[in-house]
A = this chain, B = another copy of it.
């Protein structure tokens, strides 16, 4: 992976940014941080206390080593997780949610509550929409 910009060797999300609307822009930045299939699950686990690599691998079911590492690195880079290496043998590494991440989690809960309140409303809207483009009965 010979890339001129020598900073990081792992794939790290390049901030898309560059929006015009200040609010949309800000929200998008947060979203980019916690979007992706795994970030929230990992954050959630680490919010309950320090977690080791393999603990996360088991706790966040379905994740691959690769995605675990990648997501961990991005969260660490954004200051949402701290990575602590114990120079023992065998090696031991712990990931901990930062206070900032715990605050973020509170905001995410408000999002979740919105989803709970409107779960059925959304489901209804979906089926209504999907049925309105009705399949031709003559087929």
Contacts and interface: CB of A to CB of B under 8 A. Distances in A.
A35 interface: yes
A19 interface: yes
A6 B16 CA distance: 35
A76 B122 CA distance: 10
B40 A9 contact: no
B26 A112 contact: yes
Categorize the interface residue count of chain A.
Answer: 35 or more
Interface string A16-56: 10011101101111110011010011001000000000000
Given A77-B125, A77-B129, A125-B78, A41 B26 contact: no
A49 to B, nearest CB: 15
A19 B6 contact: no
